[in-house]
Amino acid sequence: MENRYSIVISPPEAIIDLVKTMKNELSQEIGWFHSKNSLAHITINEFMAHESEIENIKKQLASICETLAPIQVHLNTFNHYPNGAFFIAPDEVSKIELKAIMKHVNQYFRVKTLFKNSEPHLSIARKLSSEYISKSYKLFSKPINLNFDCVGVTLRQFNPNVKQFEIITHFDFKNKPKPTFEQGTLF
């Protein structure tokens, strides 16, 4: 059977809980919205795969993460996209480093993806009207300052019964340099 999967960067529980609280506050203000029940994450990509392929995909992700090094992520701005996504954005340094990780994963991931994300952000809500975007900015008018160590990526599987992605496993960054081929000299 084919399932939908995603590769994401998962922040620590404290940030997941904070974003969950923010989503609850927003739902009290505007009602239900897309991604209300989704756990905080930064999407790298989404793909379809058969259950029989997952063990090989896990090996592939472990290999991809071998050369990546942990980074410090700083999220400090509320922002939105024209499509109605309201989110917490990383600072410029974190954005550059997160984009490098996302590009590396997408470059070496050998499964056809449905969606590749190139703009790192931590979603609070999706598909909001302009009125609800304005209400979101008013509700979250205080400055935000979140920090965490990004030490790996997470593989998630979509559960159609609860209509949410659920975590399957994490892959730690190992910060091991790629082996290079060195040609020896004959003389």
The pTM for the full model equals: 0.91
Question: pLDDT tens digit string along 66-86?
Answer: 999 999 999 999 999 999 999
pLDDT of residue 181: 53
Q: How far apart are CA 20 and CA 132, in angstroms?
A: 18
Give, for all 187 residues of the chain, the pLDDT tens digit: 899 999 999 999 999 999 999 999 999 999 999 999 999 999 999 999 999 999 999 999 999 999 999 999 999 999 999 999 999 999 999 999 999 999 999 999 999 999 999 999 999 999 999 999 999 999 999 999 999 999 999 999 999 998 899 999 999 999 997 765 555 555 4
Report the chain's mean pLDDT, rounded to a whole number.
94
Q: What DSSP assignment string belongs to 128-181?
A: --HHHHHHHHHHT-S---EEEEE-EEEEEEEETTTTEEEEEEEEE---PPPP--
pLDDT of residue 178: 73
